[in-house]
Amino acid sequence: MRPATVSLRNVTVAHAGRPAVHHLSGEFAPGSLTALVGPNGAGKSTLLRAIAGLHAPIEGQIVTAPGQVALLPQQAGMDRAFPIACLDVVLFGLWNQAGAFAPVRHAQRHRADDALAAVGLSGFGRRPVGSLSAGQFQRLLFARLLVQDAPVLLLDEPFNALDERTAADMLALLRRWHGQGRTIIAVLHDMDLVRREFPHTLLLARDCLGWGETAEVLTAANRMRARRMAEAWSEREEACHRAA
């Protein structure tokens, strides 16, 4: 896996002109494993979407190479009622490589089958997505991420609402990806998991309150400051402008 860096240069991201992430600068080093943490509404998911190219900053610049980034979104934002088979969901991960309307080649179908098997869904290719449990659906999203084969992986609450076995399986997959040299950024709420598995942490409360080694970032003082900032937020605030 070719190492990949994600650089943020004075990045501000907003919703409808209101700030979600303020003037964030820093770098996710090649092959790093970083937890993105903070209170609800801190801008964590917004930042991931901006890195993925799905939410344009109103200021600053996000530097990644084209085709480097793959995103695993939150389940809560996805419609599972759409009548589609599991294999087709996984094949969507190949659109950037094959084109949206190109016929599916045998090798691509084989890759998708292998990805399903790797996440414990062997034989599920023809199953409708709506028939899956929450844990099975999350495994399916991991399979789609797997076929994308991107050097930068963005995961938005990847273990949320999973049973212990599924969470352990998906964590093992993350360790494997990290061992391959991929740059991984994951939104997480379980601080014990973060301290145990993630060497680096970005603590976000719209502003950056800490970015570096996990033990140095997740201090009681930093977490209290994040909580107080969350309590003081006003949705009426306009996006601010600060010199780079």
> Which tens digits make up the pLDDT trace of 56-69?
999 999 999 778 89
Q: How far apart are CA 125 and CA 143, in angstroms?
A: 11
Question: CA 183, CA 78: separation in Å to the nearest integer?
Answer: 25
What is the per-residue pLDDT across 103-120, written as a single tens digit (0 to 9) for each?
667 888 899 999 999 999
Is the pTM higher than 0.75? The answer reads yes
Q: Which amino acid, one-letter code, is at 239?
A: A
207 burial (CB, 10 Å; 0-12 / 13-18 / 19+) is middle
The SS3 of residue 148 is: helix
Share of the chain residues as helix, strand and coil, in percent rounded to the nearest 5: 40, 25, 35
